[in-house]
Structure 1
Amino acid sequence: MRTTPDNAVHPHPADPAPYIAEHSAAFLAALRDWLRIPSVSANPDHAPDVRRSAEWLAAALTDTGFPVAEVWETEGGGPAVFAEWPSGEADAPTVLVYGHHDVQPAAREDGWATDPFEPVEQDGRLRARGAADDKGQVFLHTLGLRAHLAATGRTAPAVNLKLLVEGEEESGSPHFGPLIRKHADRLACDTVIVSDTGMWAEDTPTVCTGMRGLVDGQIDLYGPDQDIHSGSFGGAVPNPATEAARLVAALHDEDRRVSIPGFYDGVVELTDRERALLAELPFDEAGWLRTAKSHAALGEHGHTTLERIWARPTAEVNGIHAGYGGPGGKTIVPSTAEIKFSFRLVAGQDTARVRQLVTDWVAARLPDGIRHEIRFWGDGTRPCLTPLDHPALRSLVRAMGRAFGQEIRYTREGGSGPAADLQDVLGVPVLFLGISVPSDGWHSVDEKVDLDLLFKGVETAAHLWTELAADWAAEPWPSSR
């Protein structure tokens, strides 16, 4: 979405760009050192590397100037890093930056052109696992902060600055919720900046304003105690495969809306302005379909593709398994069937309520003779959304506009992440500062980051703390602190 730059007049310090240019080589050398650490949280064999990555970052943050930089343990998982640098001014806002230092698995035999943990710079891009997701986007804040200090002449940031860099995001953040609840007092802030997202394109800088939530799980259906002859018993006893198909078919109505009663209760609908701004994005649906390896766009009637993947709740069948699947035929009534499902949620929906709605709906639709068990993969992830008119968001858009020298638009993301945990536990708005683009290849071979965009992110961070402090001084936004 496009936004009109704020007309408020703020005192602009010296341009941080010269400092950034002068120190860019040292910054990249340090980043390459960090990228060489294979901090793959999903592989227990790399647990020592995840710890080494955390310790490396804590040391780097100390070198940056943070008076506090600590490695925080989790319950059996990868350690996180916490750092803090007070502003020294009693009325300064407190900002928490979130990112993660663990990475996806990667190996040369996966198809990488070079060793994924030996960074290579080529054609203005830095290629390595973690270059974009998420070490590059975390590390940009170190040079950005130093440039902020150099440009303003300050000895401490204009805001009370905190960092929390997780070590298990690529493994589903299993211990993140307990970690932030345990340290909620030390993490208390007025807003969170998540640096683990992307932009629309190299020539279309954007700010993400929300992520969908997630509830997923599995339904197991049980009929006869064993597979039985379809000629002798078929048509006279319940068939788990048939009932699985009936459940799946009933999940959506003819307008492709989710049919579960109460599912849409409380959903925060797009405003006319938001819909109009989404429509202005240069969206190539044919190109998007090619990326998706799909042949047609299809979804809830009355909404565009971008609205469906960013701002509408969905229900997806991830898998159906039942009966005989070998060669030829086998005339049976199968004894079991299985459905794997996922629901993406938007602002206004509650994960616990959706789990209960799904549970009740499944139970009400099954006939006698079919036993079932429904399992959810955890409590789910809540959606998060930052209002377009929030003052902190305006500060971020202004800082990014100064760095990129052009108008900034808004997007959302259709996936889910730990940002909602921060929003719920800390009770503050979550903003997203990301400079990665779709071609960077997150989780894929030859992951990379565009160095020009990376340094635009550095410059955004350098401006951001000044912008936030000035806006806060003019009118503090509502805070839980």
Structure 2
Amino acid sequence: MTPLHHDYFSANRERILTAWCDLLRIESVSADASGLAHCARAAAWLKRWLKYAGFQTEVVLPPNGRPIVWAERPGVPSAPAVLFYGHYDVQPADPVAAWRHPPFDPVCVDGRIYARGAEDNKGQLFAFLQGVAARIGAGLPLPTLRVLLEGEEECGSPSLLACAHDPTWRKRLAADILLVCDTSMHSCGQPAIVAGLRGMQTLTITLRGPSHDLHSGSHGGLAPNAAQGMAELLASLHDPQGRIAVAGFLDGWAAPSADERRLAEAVPFDPAAYISETGAPPEGGERAIPPIHRTAFHPTIEVNGVHSGYGGPGSKTIIPAEAVAKLSARLCPDQNPSRTMDALAAHLRAHCPPGLTLELSDVRSGSRGFRLPLDSPLFRLATDVLTRMDARGPLFLWEGASIPIIATLQEVSGAAPLLVGFGREEDHIHAPNESFGLDQFQQVMTYADAMLGALV
């Protein structure tokens, strides 16, 4: 692998770390309106940096949203155009008391930068951009590169999702390859290509019975019980073996290919380690299916929360008048989110217990998943690049999680997505004491240099 990134990092170490820490000091939390001004500062900072690096830049201000940073640099005309996506917003730092250092005052300890956003995603996106800067500084060719940095990924990307389908944005986002550096390596330290993500949809269920809570002695056995009805309704979503029992929900689902199964099963899964990490055995879902397949290749319907009646100390002998539950579903790439939501809603209405009324609210049909074709040139190229970085070659991960904006960007831009990240478990993203190693930072630089160089 070319030593370009090593030479560039060594020669510019203090300048790179100073700039990175300046970005980390900006409290660009997107969870509530209090972070709006900070998000604007972060967007302005990134615009200045990209302009200095030689990009044409613009900050777009969506109505009532956080700024979107757009930048473009023409490259080799015959090379595929690249769209690089990242986000500058971060999770809240709560609980602040659990941090060993102030979350927005970055420090370097034992070769790691500690701060909120150190990894997710300011660290990875800035390291990628530094890899680009290294090639520019060395006079090496690049493909046409378009950079899209948003400030609302941590709250669902509402502004970017709204903008993306505008004809102006469709033209601007057009690309051949979508590169994303917002994921992790395997725990063994081996590079990983995210070969698939699940889509997601959510809704809230409300069941109502009597006009008010009733005495469980006077009315027990007569009045419909909203809490019991909710338990019955939620239980109807799966059969005793954990299989989804919603008619039509699985329409379109495609079983993984033999190659996909083989590559997924090459990723170590240790039930004991899972128990150690979560405090629970991997016994959820369709138990007849291997654990790695359940999150990689199968859709799910999960109950996220239930509330009804009295939950305080002691007892309160009532028949609850109302029960509320929140559901989320994870979808595989070939499922249509509108149809799965219609199937789920129809099932809930058909199975609503007698005497109770059903209301569905906060219905978000959500996004499709995506799957990287294993026979695509991009898959082969990325595998080759990562094998040159690590002789073991990459692992291939079909993540159970969702990044809703990826499916939208894939649809709007026409680009093939490639998700390769260099996060580790010890980075503690979304938690106190988030950090990112300088070695990881340089790995991202290496990847950016090698991947972009391989495209020209």
Q: TM-score, normalised by structure 1?
A: 0.89
2:324 corresponds, among 338, 350, 361, to 338
For residues 115-194 of structure 1, what are the structure 2 equivalents within 5 Å? Answer: 115-149=102-136, 153-154=139-140, 157=142, 159-182=143-166, 183-194=169-180
Shift of 1:160: 1.0
Q: Structure 1 segments of 4 or more deviating over 4 A?
A: 12-16
SS at match of 1:276: helix
Q: Deviations over 1:323-370 (max 9, x none)?
A: 233444444332211121111111111221111111100111124422
SS at match of 2:195: strand
Q: Distance in 1 between matches of 2:392 and 2:437?
A: 18
1:233 corresponds, among 195, 219, 242, to 219
Q: Is the 8 A contact 1:396 1:467 kept in 2?
A: no
* One-letter amino acid of the structure 1 residue matched with residue 27 of structure 2: P
Counterpart in the other structure of 1:479: none
Q: Distance in 2 between matches of 1:149 and 1:318?
A: 47
Q: Distance in 1 between matches of 2:5 and 2:181?
A: 20
2:235 corresponds, among 249, 257, 260, to 249
Q: Percent sequence identity over matched residues?
A: 37
Higher mean displacement: 417-426 or 290-299: 290-299
For residues 240-319 of structure 1, what are the structure 2 equivalents within 5 Å? Answer: 240-319=226-305
Higher mean displacement: 388-397 or 437-446: 388-397
Q: Deviations over 1:82-116 (max 9, x none)?
A: 11011152x22111000000111116733110011
Shift of 1:405: 4.4
Q: Deviations over 1:230-285 (max 9, x none)?
A: 34433234322221111111111122111101111111322222222222223322
CA root-mean-square deviation: 2.0
Shift of 1:196: 1.2
For residues 373-452 of structure 1, what are the structure 2 equivalents within 5 Å? Answer: 373-417=359-403, 418-452=405-439
1:35 corresponds, among 10, 14, 24, to 24
Q: 1:428 to 1:443 in 2, by over 3 A?
A: same
Higher mean displacement: 196-205 or 182-191: 196-205
Counterpart in the other structure of 2:442: 455
Q: Deviations over 1:288-332 (max 9, x none)?
A: 222112245333133222221232211111122222334444443
For residues 458-477 of structure 1, what are the structure 2 equivalents within 5 Å? Answer: 458-469=445-456
Q: Distance in 2 between matches of 1:304 and 1:195?
A: 29
Q: Distance in 1 between matches of 2:432 and 2:216?
A: 48
* One-letter amino acid of the structure 1 residue matched with residue 247 of structure 2: P
Counterpart in the other structure of 1:4: none
Q: Distance in 2 between matches of 1:324 and 1:128?
A: 40
Q: 1:402 to 1:412 in 2, by over 3 A?
A: same
* One-letter amino acid of the structure 2 residue matched with residue 181 of structure 1: H
Q: 1:110 to 1:391 in 2, by over 3 A?
A: farther
Q: Is the 8 A contact 1:148 1:463 kept in 2?
A: no
Where do 5+ consecutive residues of structure 1 fail to align?
1-11, 470-481
Q: Distance in 1 between matches of 2:282 and 2:419?
A: 31
SS at match of 1:113: coil
Counterpart in the other structure of 2:80: 93
Q: Is the 8 A contact 1:107 1:115 kept in 2?
A: no
Q: Is the 8 A contact 2:82 2:178 kept in 1?
A: yes
1:74 corresponds, among 62, 65, 69, to 62
Counterpart in the other structure of 2:197: 211
2:36 pairs with 1:47: yes
